[in-house]
Amino acid sequence: MQGAGLGVCEMEFLAVPQESSQPEIAEAFVDVAGARLHYLRAGAGPPMLLIHGLVGSSQNWRNNIGALASSASVYAPDLLNTGKSQRVSGLDTSLKAIANRMVASMDALGLGAVDIVAHSHGGAIALMLAALRPQRVRRLILFAPANPHSRSGDRLVRFYSSRWGGLALRMLPYLPAPIQRIALGKLYGGPDRVMESCLRTYTEVLSDTSTVHHILSILRCWFVEMSKLRRALRRVARIPTLLVWGDRDCTVSLSSGIRLHRRLPASELIVVPGRGHSVFEEAPEEANRIMLEWLGRHPLPAILPATLPAPLPAAPKGSPAASTQRPRHRAKAVSIAASASVAEAGAAAAIQNLSPGA
């Protein structure tokens, strides 16, 4: 990848089929350090970034963008080497590198602090981004984010990281549809739940040799990156976070979601019965309702700058500023802690009768 400056490309807007009641969704491209990034754009309001999973693209959010765009400016990019974005050989696939490329994308689009909605490996990217640049992240909504507490997918990661596993991944798009459904069934809580549109999206992604190579590169450093994410999680503790899990998720275990929730004091965990790894695709209306209700309960602060402001000079003792500044910050911290306690109690009640996977 070239180290060129950042800038927005000519806006190549293309029509995306929509119901008349939904906000218009446009397609465009932006230059990020010399590479061409494709994204979907809809709505007006505070910026919101959607980050897709490992075997995915911006199309995974097709049934969510309209609802979210009712109160936000939504940006759904195809990460480099996926979807319609440029293929770049030798790309650094560490979580830190991908997170920094997302920040570069935000800079190129003129975005300051954003809300982030992310899924699976995209959730791990979002967590790393929040750890590296907490001032750029207002709120997080994470659907079954890959995390260091989950062991349920370790065997598959090791298999696909092998020579034979890589061959199997490349062959998947050319297998009969029933076998593809079985292979993807764990993502959706069963083969019968794999929708035709989702099946088509995954097979299109895996039909691209460059994208498969990119995916395999990520899998080969999976355990090292999860270890790095474990150490970074403490820096995300104060960011309001919604975790959404299907209780039939066999890819990233619900038990790991419970542990992640406990690591993030400002988080809330919602468990959706009968759903698998991709709740937002399996039950888009329900997922949209969950997201919008949570966003409504966690309104944005009045002012949140894109970058950290310069330190203010110390106020003289006895001045109004000196007497009010510290209590205001203390009250905010107490509010976050109280919110986390209520959320944790609610989550415990919701999951006490579940038997999550390993």
Can you tell me the distance from the alpha carbon of 79 to that of 57, in angstroms, rounded to the nearest whole number? 7
Region 46-75: mean pLDDT is 96
Structural domains in the chain plus CATH codes: 38-300+333-351 (3.40.50.1820)
Per the listing, tokens 């993502």 go with: 187
Q: Which residue has the higher pLDDT, 131 or 184?
A: 131
pTM of the model: 0.78
Are 36 and 85 a contacting pair, CB within 8 Å? yes
Arithmetic mean of pLDDT over the chain: 81
Return the percentage of the chain with pLDDT > 70, whole number: 77
The answer on pLDDT for 1 being more than 70 is no
The pair of three-digit structure tokens given for residue 297, joined into one six-digit string: 């309960």
Region 174-189: mean pLDDT is 80
Q: For residue range 239-287, what is the model confidence (pLDDT) as tens digits?
A: 999 999 999 998 999 999 999 999 999 999 999 999 999 999 999 999 9
The reported pLDDT for the residue numbered 353 is 30
The reported pLDDT for the residue numbered 153 is 84
The reported pLDDT for the residue numbered 264 is 98
Return the percentage of the chain with pLDDT > 90, whole number: 61
Burial of 329 (0-12, 13-18, 19+ CB in 10 A): exposed
The reported pLDDT for the residue numbered 170 is 86
Question: pLDDT grade, residue 197 (50/70/90)?
Answer: confident
Question: pLDDT grade, residue 206 (50/70/90)?
Answer: confident
The reported pLDDT for the residue numbered 62 is 94
The reported pLDDT for the residue numbered 221 is 96
Question: pLDDT grade, residue 96 (50/70/90)?
Answer: very high
Per this entry, what is the length of the chain?
Answer: 358
The reported pLDDT for the residue numbered 166 is 86
| Closest of 233, 285, 258, 243 to residue 357, by C-alpha | 258
Give 321-329 contacts, CB < 8 A, sequence gap 24+: none
- Range of weakest confidence among 60-64, 68-72, 157-161, 311-315: 311-315
Burial of 343 (0-12, 13-18, 19+ CB in 10 A): buried
Q: For residue range 30-40, what is the model confidence (pLDDT) as tens digits?
A: 999 899 999 99
